[in-house]
Structure 1
Amino acid sequence: LSKDYLRELQEGTDIDGFLTQSRLVRLEQSNQSLANQSQGDHYWTLHLESTAQDKPALEPIKGREVIMTAPPEQVKAILKDSGLEQSPLMASIVGAEMACRFTWVLVTQGAALETSQHFFKNDAMLDNLLVLSHKPGIQSANGYEQIQVNMTLDWSQLHAAVDKQQVQQDFENDVLTRIKTLIPDLQNHNVISFQVHKWLYAQPKSPATVPLKSDNGLTCIGDWTCGYGLDDALRSAETLIQNYA
């Protein structure tokens, strides 16, 4: 799926379940592919089927090779359901490690904040803090501030197996205290909402300097997000494509 296409999804689209619900994706081998197999050329058509009216349709994608943005195990299941379990594509799927990132979103009410962005130096838990209501294009009601706090990737990976509700329960007070220490003006703010989000994206197992190839087959980087963090998911796909030479 192209970055432009993903950007055009309507607001409110269920990103989490977009490719995972109701067997939305099926992969078919075209007649042209069968005719050219002896020449080593493979053509595949990717279909995105919708079972709900609010899910946008996707025109078939045709090409010699298809990069599918879905977890490797999901792609294998798609091939199996399509009767392609014995296909050489099964052996050409490139795996990916699922990376975890915890992000907190804090909504407060009080005087306007001067801090727009802050990076935590040598902090094992907190990576950076952004006052989203200061970013261009974001409208915020007068007196309300929206703050995003990203945990470090190392900390997030260490707690990747922990349910986000448990993370919220165990670390909410600690994170909130540290944020207020960083921004003293928050001491006088009322906390309206404070919630942690856990999302996953894929990163190539091979270093970025190593080309990732597939012999006339299907390459799967597995970068579809399982929650929030679409930008990082797309970035992992771009890393693969840039090295796909």
Structure 2
Amino acid sequence: MTIAIIGAGVAGLSAASDLKGAGHEVVLFDKGRGAGGRLSTRRASTPAGDLRFDHGAQFFTARDTVFRALVSDLETRSHVAKWTPSRVSLAHTGGTWSAEPLRSDDDWFVGAPSMNSLVKGMAEGHDVRWGERAIALSIRDEGRYVQLDTSGWQGPFDAVILAIPAEQTRELLADTSPVLASEAAASVTAPCWAVMLAFDAPIKTGWDVAEVSNSPLSLVVRNSSKPGRGNDETFVLHATPEWTRANVDKDKEKVAEELSGVFCQMTGAGAPSLAAAHRWLYAKTETPANSPYGWDHAQRIGIVGDWRIAPRIEAAWQSGHALAAILID
């Protein structure tokens, strides 16, 4: 069976690995120039040298036994590393900040030396066509075709799997699979403004990760505390969905200035040497679908992603793994 997978993130590569292992021919198309998506790494040049920021997903867990085995293999191949940051809950009340320690029973992992290393490791050995954005699907007598904005129509394929955000899935399947398009339409994904900061000297916070409440910020991470990130003092800030929606069209420079100001007020830090913002339109699932995957048997089209289950990297892998098992059976 020949299968096209649109989206070479964790969900798409999870399905691809299982399907290829079962003897099927799989090709993946991804609009990105390279591995990443929400696991992308942002590079920035400063007088002190080049910096790298994990400005999307910050870490992942491995609770599923099969996924844990994959993570162990990737760790052995130096694509993944364990991360044990000091964590607090920060609340802004009455003009002051209060911190409470946080602990987790889960091990936390990160890509090494950057988050997209996880995808790079999973993509090894697969036929991935980077820089190929899917713009249409066509069901014909001889099979399914995918139209790409650079190389035109590709096919025929026996099946097509979409491993992209729900909003993009809905648009792409509006004509070819209204049933799956309606499933995607029912899922809601929150946007997120991310701000990347660099400082010339260490910031004394007493923590590496802060989950924030009563603030425009929801999460603050000392990016430089992760394995392989170098010695420069860097932070990544994530705004709340509510603040992001209210400021979704604001100028990037103004977002960086406003949220870095919140961080400096929170920590007592001086002005950063670098402040840059990135807007994720599809960042975190708020309303997931009611099953790990969607499958239109008549059209032989499937849909997967973390938005089917929960906003976690492991959930994206579980979604792709679940649909692959159905196709293999």
Length-normalised TM-score, structure 2: 0.45
Q: How does 1:88-167 map to 2 (within 5 A)?
A: 89-93=177-181, 94-95=183-184, 96-111=187-202, 113=204, 115=206, 117-140=208-231, 144-156=232-244, 158-159=245-246, 162-165=248-251
Instruction: Look up the equivalent residue of 1:176 and give its one-letter code.
Output: S
Change (3 A) 1:171 1:66: closer
Query: CA–CA distance in 1 between the matches of 2:290 and 2:178?
Result: 25
Residues matched between the structures, number: 197
Instruction: Look up the equivalent residue of 1:75 and give its one-letter code.
Output: L
Structure 1 residue 147, shift from structure 2 partner: 1.0
Residue number in structure 2 paired with 1:193: 274
Instruction: Look up the equivalent residue of 1:147 and give its one-letter code.
Output: F
Q: How does 1:5-154 map to 2 (within 5 A)?
A: 10=34, 18=131, 20=133, 24-29=134-139, 31=141, 33=143, 44-46=144-146, 48=148, 50=150, 62-64=157-159, 66-69=161-164, 71-72=168-169, 74-76=171-173, 85=175, 87=176, 89-93=177-181, 94-95=183-184, 96-111=187-202, 113=204, 115=206, 117-140=208-231, 144-154=232-242
Change (3 A) 1:177 1:47: closer
1:179 is the counterpart of 2:279: no
Contact 2:132 2:150 in 1 (8 A): no
Instruction: Look up the equivalent residue of 2:274 and give its one-letter code.
Output: S
Structure 1 residue 182, shift from structure 2 partner: 3.3
Query: CA–CA distance in 1 between the matches of 2:212 and 2:284?
Result: 25
Structure 1 residue 45, shift from structure 2 partner: 4.7
Length-normalised TM-score, structure 1: 0.56
1:196-238 deviation digits (Å, cap 9, x = unpaired): 22112276686455455343133456889xxxxxxx6966754
Gaps spanning 5+ residues in structure 2: where? Answer: 1-6, 14-27, 41-129
Contact 1:168 1:196 in 2 (8 A): yes
Name the SS of the counterpart of 2:279 in structure 1: strand
Change (3 A) 1:68 1:62: farther
1:15-56 deviation digits (Å, cap 9, x = unpaired): 8x9455xxx5453446554xxxxxxxxxx35465636xxxxx
Instruction: Look up the equivalent residue of 2:267 and give its one-letter code.
Output: I
1:169 is the counterpart of 2:254: yes
Gaps spanning 5+ residues in structure 1: where? Answer: 34-43, 52-58, 78-84, 225-231
Query: CA–CA distance in 2 between the matches of 1:202 and 1:12?
Result: 13
- Percent identity, please: 16
Across the aligned residues of Structure 1 and Structure 2, the Cα RMSD in angstroms comes to: 4.5
Name the SS of the counterpart of 1:119 in structure 2: strand
Contact 1:133 1:146 in 2 (8 A): yes
Name the SS of the counterpart of 1:191 in structure 2: coil
Contact 1:126 1:151 in 2 (8 A): yes
Change (3 A) 1:191 1:65: closer
Query: CA–CA distance in 2 between the matches of 1:66 and 1:195?
Result: 35
Instruction: Look up the equivalent residue of 1:172 and give its one-letter code.
Output: E
- Of stretches 119-128 and 99-108 in structure 1, the one that deviates more from structure 2 is 119-128
Structure number, greater radius of gyration: 1
**Greater share of strand:** 2
